[in-house]
Chain A
Amino acid sequence: EVQLLESGGGLVQPGGSLRLPCAASGFTFSAYAMSWVRQAPGKGLEWVSTVTGSGGSTYYADSVKGRFTISRDNSKNTLYLQMNSLRAEDTAVYYCAKGTAAPGTFDYWGQGTLVTVSS
């Protein structure tokens, strides 16, 4: 059974940093791209970032480029999102999501972790 478990969310001040891990199990982690998708309170879904299975390529939404870094440790079956220079508009539930064999579709999602940026 595929499981994705995010953690690391919480309250952070504007300009602060946070690192979100996502622990994966139930599939060959290194074989699939992984992504982060966020959802602001009461709003729709917004893609944040994707990393390929090897970790060799990364992709970012313009809204987070230069501030967020996606990475993965295939030896630990864990995906990460390092978030720096956080802004109020980054407040959202952050989901990690597993890609399918065809990149860009998400077939399994974690339960999400809430990040609140506020003073």
Chain B
Amino acid sequence: EIVLTQSPATLSLSPGERATLSCRASQTVSSYLAWYQQKPGQAPRLLIYDTSNRATGIPARFSGSGSGTDFTLTISSLEPEDFAVYYCQQRSNWPPLTFGGGTKVEIK
């Protein structure tokens, strides 16, 4: 099973700042990594698939990068609606499909 480790657990930033979230895999996942955003009481929303492809309707301030075992989600300038929990997920070697433990982006 591929384990995904996200860091930091919590990121405290102000609107307008840049957010950098990390996801590290226990073995290579090639480019098969996705990112999801979840707000309280809501279902997750797909942001990025296959490392760097934005999903339909996702603003350009969200970008993904990386390969192999190390991946990054960057939010170039935080908007008020971006404060949420973010999960990475791999589809390289499954079953099982696995998620990271999440990074909470909170208002500083």
Contacts and interface: CB of A to CB of B under 8 A. Distances in A.
Contact of A103 (B46, B91, B98): B91
A22 to B, nearest CB: 12
Contact of A59 (B32, B34, B94): B94
A103 B94 CA distance: 10
B8 to A, nearest CB: 15
Interface residues of B, number: 25
B71 interface: no
Given A44-B102, A102-B50, A109 B43 contact: yes
Interface of B: 32, 34, 36, 38, 42-46, 49-50, 55-56, 87, 89, 91, 94-102
Contacts of A71: none
Could you tell me the dominant secondary structure of chain A's interface residues? strand
A104 interface: yes
Given A44-B87, A103-B91, A105-B91, A61 B96 contact: yes
